[in-house]
Amino acid sequence: MGQSLLLSLRSTCTRLAVGATIVRDKRIIAGGYNGSVSGDVHCIDEGCYLVDNHCVRTIHAEMNAILQCAKFGVETDQAEIYVTHFPCLQCTKMIIQAGIKKIVYLKDYHNNDYALRLIEQAGVEVEQVILSKKYFAEIQFGDDLEAMD
């Protein structure tokens, strides 16, 4: 989870900084953070591009990590994903389709009922972790550190 927190610091979205790390056989195989498509402008530079109160400019951290695996031919079947925030519905569907069998997350974030049902139906294990802030004293993670005691 520490790696995902560090990745979230690279986020270029001003609304929410998210990081994701994919692990298989106890080895990190990919990481991602939420940001713009390569070559496009970033939210930190021009603001979020909102449609229905959702930034459509941003590729989510989970998607970036899974796409990194696809780009470089790295297998995700039976892997685990560590995410700073509970995945949205679209990322949940992508995680399931990628064969990832465990989601470990730090913060609840609009946990979608349908996503939860899909996770259960697919037999994906879900674990919320609580981290002591003593391990992340130097990381600026907004109000989220308050919930880590």
Active site residues: 62
Q: Which residues contact 44 (CB under 8 A, 6 or more apart)?
A: 12, 13, 14
Bridge pairing between strands 80-85 and 19-24: antiparallel
> How far, in Å, CA of 57 to CA of 38, rounded?
11
- At position 95, the amino acid (one-letter code) is I
Q: Which residues contact 87 (CB under 8 A, 6 or more apart)?
A: 60, 62, 81, 95, 103, 105, 115
- Assigned token pair, 43: 């939210």
